Structure 1
């Protein structure tokens, strides 16, 4: 207190002492509501060095207080983190921990008393990671306690300082602004898995890659990508290594910026449908005629522009849209539990998920999960560090790249759109009615999206001014308007059913912002071509000996962005898959 006396003068130092004692007593009484809000002013301290000395002196003498400066005035109040830690460990440990924290001595460590209770240690780990995770790291060690028995103790140390940005800002900036474009060819890999492999090999983050969309897992797909902080030469070096993982890298060249989601002109599909058969109720028809009829139909009429089944995942028990709904409702823990809901199969992935749901042991589940489950691992690492509670789960979702987080919410919005499209066609058919939304013809870039969308009037309905091909339906979000007919009403009822009637379609804790958009109800295919082949002989079939051999149908077509080949194919084949 000699230091405080000399810095503050004896009278003020004594008042501070009294404030500290009173606050401590109030804390001990627990029921004192204002204990957390009490403040004490040390008056204006103009000299910066004096302020720094005072901050340090107060904290070393009273670790349970914090000091802050408001316009040169120094204020002292209770340290809520200190109070919280006191409820987990002894007062002495808490006091020593905060002195250790405040001293910030490089390479210094602090150990809590031996603690054999794993659950309790977990709570302490989570507390320190949650409050001081950027500064400190914790680890449990085996120690010998007072009775010479082996026990566990938590050790805390300062994280290694990441190199100062200021010092090497020049070199750092150059690397930041380096972009390399390439075409990724992959097979039997998710886009995000492929990025995980590439990132690990190149020593960059998955978020350093940008792409225009997520490609199908099973197919052989090609997509443009851009990676930041990697030179074309470095990318070329890893080619042969990546081939072993099922991908190839083509067309490597320098670029000047990232790609954005949706920044593509469309997709080309080459599809083979093997073992063609008639529908059971249609077995007498000529197969070749049926096929040409189906192709003609889809070419002239198009297809309903549903989001394809791959948007919602393969899961039988849980689909991605349910996770998206939980995220929109900010039910973070529920979203995590849904994310880890296993399928009813016995394989490493589902066993790990099952284990996690039963035990909430993130560390154990991490060990069980195969390497390629990138998203699951990212989430579990955060849950291991922060705990499976609302805060921990929020941190977990933040630990996966933004494009993946938003994917789940988009899945929910897509599901609503699909249902809306079915409802719209069911009640109004292909007639354009009053209150429908259509895209106006203006191609002016400066016009906002909502201004491009026109609400059909009664007069326009009577005059048949628009065709069904021009009708759009909103993808739900915060910046769209709804049709002003029964379909708009349907949207409101449907969202209420999911408790989203008041939803702002923004989830700030997860940095999610869903403005919404408009999607045409019908779409057309371009450049459709096809031929039939005898699967066994591998030759094109010209004549009508179709029904005796195994037949494959080869189809090629182009679709606009965000149109699904699965949906177009479903229309051609008249069946679900």
Structure 2
């Protein structure tokens, strides 16, 4: 295979954030040198055996999201403080609106008199966690904000914030955040490392222009409380345009969290009914929606299991399992993709397959370098991103210094690990996301799909590599003839994706519409994967441009994440803040808080050179009018935000000498000792070990 020079150039141009020297080494000498173990949402390694009957329906309740603890490799353990994960709200169903509506005064009584013991304890915590003077100043700050609002003064300027100082205990910080928002819903709290800063909630003021202050007060308390089985109802309203404005405000500002719906008020005049707007927390795709009795009687079977695979592409593994179980690849769900050249462990869920049936194929799939265990019945499928992170056990062989570096190699290695431990690494998407070594990269297919070039996307997918094997001979035949039926006769049975696409093309033809139908032979997660690959490529380029242009200083117009507990990409627009000139001059934020948008229809761009760069790139790629929706393939890409920097957790490592005997000329033997590094660490979801190693070693793979 010819060298993927375009890909090498692309990754060699990426930045480093640390200033240590690094070292050379070889990773992935064999799959056993690169072990990846998924960490589930409860912080447990999924390769551990679950002590429960395999046919028992299990419903796992959320636990604190701490990273998995594991016996480390040896001589030196490195660690640092982990942040608290953002609380995940329990999603609820609608209850009958007419019977549950309360007037404004009734709602106030229920809040004052029906406050839960937990909420009262949170509010009382202000007195116990803050000294008397700070508490008085906080109350005065809140009073001053309300006075300015009542006098219709503009809320602006750096003076309109109040610092509670540094709170070292993260649990106390979490309690204070919630307590202040419950007591003063017209204020917001922002975490700056260990400092808590209180500011006026401008969204609260905006809502007060649409509804009474009493309703705004109650609404923001409802949002912050995130109570299970709760809803919020605004006062009755006969004005359709006004109701539309309220719907628009709530959905624009909090649409990722809640949804709204209008209902006639119970016992109202049918001729001119009062309408109430009810708000509930938005339901996620992986949560069960309310089902009828008939649906419950025909409940779909879901079976979860841990999949171990070795040196096997993810989609190939799923395709093989699908054939053996008599289902289609889209019946499988998983939390994330895993490396090919590695030994990987991950949780999967397959629908319409019983635990007994899955057990029956255990022997067959072992021939494919796979095994399944922890087989159990569950209530629903998995979704992408439904994991805490991944644990890595990696061996780096043939260690040596960079050219012209004569320093002690062991010291270089220690220096490099310590540097990345404290400063982190640039959070690039890794090379495996784009198909390293292939003539056509996944992002190229994604760009064609975004431009609705369906025929081109199909041809890109079926582009052969420079290899003379049955798969590539079949692909070459297709590009020469565009004959799906003939190509099917050449394509090996194990290439499930290619065969599914070709069967669809044979049925519908090589027209634009036929290619659209062919893409529907892939499950949703695979169709969206190619779009995400393009967005990931642009994010990598944006991160390099941002760091090359501004370095590690936070600049006016940058976007920062206000939630100190936000560990994943899926935080809402309301938690992303545009840095002001005053904040730049005051060094208010640090580089580890800076985020960049991952392309989509519901993101904002930086308001500096980086934002202009995004627009230029979209124009370059012919996407200046793209709304990141491909309705013909039922793909909607809202986008998200990704932190520029990340840090590894729970690092440990061990250096060891390996003795290799080489046979030289005239039969002489030379016994050479080489140094290897065994390193273990945990990474958050969507972070790449190869990217972390690249920063440690200062070496492009």
TM superposition score category, shorter chain reference: 0.5 to 0.7
- Determine whether 1:194 maps to 2:317: yes
* Distance apart, 1:174 and its partner CA: 5.2
Greater relative contact order structure (CA < 8 Å, 6+ sep) = 2
* Distance apart, 1:370 and its partner CA: 2.1
Report the equivalent of 2:633. 510
Equivalent position to 2:360, from 237, 243, 248: 237
Report the equivalent of 1:60. none
Equivalent position to 2:684, from 560, 565, 570: 560
CA distance in 2, matches of 1:191, 1:340: 18
* Distance apart, 1:441 and its partner CA: 2.4
* Distance apart, 1:257 and its partner CA: 1.1
For residues 41-82 of structure 1, the C-alpha deviation after alignment (integer angstroms, 9 at most, x for no partner) is xxxxxxxxxxxxxxxxxxxxxxxxxxxxxxxxxxxxxxxxxx
Q: Answer yes or no: is the 8 Å Cα contact 2:593–2:643 preserved in 1.
A: yes
Report the equivalent of 1:569. 693
* Distance apart, 1:458 and its partner CA: 0.6
- Determine whether 1:203 maps to 2:326: yes
Report the equivalent of 1:390. 512
Report the equivalent of 1:178. 301
- Report the CA distance shift for 1:569/1:404 in structure 2 as closer, same or farther (over 3 A): same
CA distance in 1, matches of 2:435, 2:379: 34
CA distance in 1, matches of 2:586, 2:385: 35
* Distance apart, 1:384 and its partner CA: 1.1
For residues 305-349 of structure 1, the C-alpha deviation after alignment (integer angstroms, 9 at most, x for no partner) is 000000000344211101100000000011111111222222222
Report the equivalent of 2:544. 422
Listed as ranges, the matches of 1:527-566 within 5 Å are 527-536=650-659, 549-566=673-690
- Determine whether 1:220 maps to 2:343: yes
- Report the CA distance shift for 1:216/1:448 in structure 2 as closer, same or farther (over 3 A): closer
Q: Which runs of 4+ in 1 moved over 6 A?
A: 169-173, 442-445
- Report the CA distance shift for 1:371/1:171 in structure 2 as closer, same or farther (over 3 A): farther
Q: What secondary structure does 2:404 align onto?
A: helix
Q: Which runs of 5+ in 2 are unaligned?
A: 1-291, 662-670
Q: Answer yes or no: is the 8 Å Cα contact 1:186–1:222 preserved in 2.
A: yes
Listed as ranges, the matches of 1:82-161 within 5 Å are none
Q: Answer yes or no: is the 8 Å Cα contact 1:437–1:454 preserved in 2.
A: yes
Report the equivalent of 1:294. 416
CA distance in 2, matches of 1:404, 1:220: 22
CA distance in 2, matches of 1:549, 1:570: 24
- Report the CA distance shift for 1:217/1:208 in structure 2 as closer, same or farther (over 3 A): same
Report the equivalent of 1:407. 529
CA distance in 2, matches of 1:537, 1:213: 38
* Distance apart, 1:536 and its partner CA: 3.3
For residues 179-216 of structure 1, the C-alpha deviation after alignment (integer angstroms, 9 at most, x for no partner) is 11111110111222111122222222211111001111
- Determine whether 1:351 maps to 2:473: yes
Q: What secondary structure does 1:274 align onto?
A: strand
For residues 276-321 of structure 1, the C-alpha deviation after alignment (integer angstroms, 9 at most, x for no partner) is 2222232x12111111111011101100000000000034421110
Listed as ranges, the matches of 1:372-521 within 5 Å are 372-441=494-563, 449-521=572-644
Q: Answer yes or no: is the 8 Å Cα contact 1:176–1:228 preserved in 2.
A: no
Q: Answer yes or no: is the 8 Å Cα contact 2:647–2:683 preserved in 1.
A: yes
- Report the CA distance shift for 1:187/1:512 in structure 2 as closer, same or farther (over 3 A): same
CA distance in 2, matches of 1:225, 1:448: 25
Report the equivalent of 2:150. none
Root mean square deviation, CA, Å: 2.2
Report the equivalent of 2:182. none
Larger-gyration structure (1/2): 1
Q: Answer yes or no: is the 8 Å Cα contact 2:660–2:672 preserved in 1.
A: no
CA distance in 2, matches of 1:360, 1:174: 46
The number of aligned residues is 399
Out of 303-312 and 203-212, give the one that drifted further. 203-212
- Report the CA distance shift for 1:576/1:443 in structure 2 as closer, same or farther (over 3 A): closer
- State TM-score, norm by structure 2: 0.55
Q: Answer yes or no: is the 8 Å Cα contact 1:193–1:374 preserved in 2.
A: yes
Equivalent position to 2:453, from 323, 326, 331: 331
Listed as ranges, the matches of 1:257-296 within 5 Å are 257-282=380-405, 284-296=406-418
Q: Which runs of 5+ in 1 are unaligned?
A: 1-168, 539-546
